[in-house]
Structure 1
Amino acid sequence: MNQIDLEGRVVVITGGARGIGYAVAQRALRSGAQVALWDIDAERLERSRKELGELGTVSASTVELTDEASIDKAVAAAVAAHGAIHVLINCAGITGGNGTTWELAPDVWRRVIDVNLIGPYLTCRAIVPLMIKQNYGRIVNIASVAGKEGNPNASHYSASKAGLIGLTKSLGKELATKNILVNAVTPAAAKTEIFDSMKQEHIDYMLSKIPMNRFLLPEEAASMILWLSSEDCAFSTGAVFDLSGGRATY
């Protein structure tokens, strides 16, 4: 495994208690970073904090990403625990289940947009001013190949991830001269607990679209995400990096 240099950096990871977020936290700690885990699941968060604490310095905050006050509290806690925030990885997300657009309930549609798009907007809004003051930052938004292609029976999820790609491009351009780089990755499906909220036929559909004929491994995602979080990533911003096993390479 190649070495990513994050020595002395503080990395905030939303949705860090499980799945890709947890894999990112593991790799970040092994790369010399301190990690602030944010998640809505307090019980799972505490368990993950204890496990990851064996690898390095980890703090944890229970956060509702659609609530500004909750985010502000978590930002203050991260700065108090670690002294700064250098990297933000917006990994938290929900699928909202599957159904045709006309069958999905409005409250379900709105909740997916709120968590997957409004949440990253609010975390960026809270943390970017700190990055501007320190003249350094890296932001990585975990979008999805669904945001490029639009998966059937997942219009809410697809729309939220397309919006996150748009947010990445806009924010990257706004910060391009401030040594703060903003990029997105677009994974195909990774076999994590998020599959529990999907129908089997939708899982089968996603696999059928991947030329490599397998799902993404969380540790593979962590490798790309953390390179984008490092100083080695120096001339890419507002960009979208493919993690789809050949499904969508544009």
Structure 2
Amino acid sequence: MNRRSALKSLGVAGAAVTGTGVLGRVSAANPDRKYFAIQEAANEIREKQGRQAMLRFLEKKGIGYDTVRRPMVITEKDDDSVSTDEFDNVDGSPSDCDICLDFTLYTNSQNTIYTIDMEWTYDLEASDYGQQPDDGAALYYTDGCWDYYSNSLSETTYTSNYVTAEDDNNNDGIAYSVDDVSAGDGDNLYCGLNIEPIGDCTIDQREVFGQYMHTWTDVEVSSSFGVSFPAGISVSYSVDTEVGEQTTGTEGDGDTLMTLDQSEATLD
């Protein structure tokens, strides 16, 4: 059984996937455990002091990373009220966005474990952003070039409040459901996935990807998410009804995938 199969056999329901306490207190004698201890501390700093403080902490600990910030902007209806029904990935700017996405790839000092991290905040003038069903997020990677770090879900992924890893039984990454109704204006939500390089791929070929999907409907419906390479995030619903969807994984031009590759995070 490979790591992907083992991870699938575990399921999500019995695992604790939280932004703090990824591994609890661990021994720094093991390089991998030391990395996860740094990761846990970084997530705690992020929740208390913000993203920039987290990145400064990673730098201090010798963690190599690269990061991009992209906007997901809500358009306005004709009556000038803010609509949650559509997004505009073209006209938004990272300094003025209603959903700001930060996508990061970082690695340990040996370049053996990599972490895909995506964080987002809601910054709206209107107070009624969240609509059912749940939104979705996904972290995934080039097939055959990466694998899950571990068959333990708690060592493989972490999330903030309002974000839950989904057991979507795929080989290319993990999808997450996002309770955007409960999340408030200014909350920073995030998810992360620990992976390792495999296969005969160049560092430029080893790409990682992040996507966010907003969904909305006027009827009672629940959603579940999956992800695959190269298709990206997918969604299914509990009832057959019309549900609005808008997906972003772009660099602001409405077309280009939000991506980084191994070379951009690897330490010299």
TM-score (norm 1): 0.34
Greater strand fraction, Structure 1 or Structure 2? 2
- Greater CA radius of gyration, 1 or 2? 2
Q: Which has the higher contact order (CA 8 A, sep 6+)?
A: 2
Greater helix fraction, Structure 1 or Structure 2? 1
TM-score (norm 2): 0.32
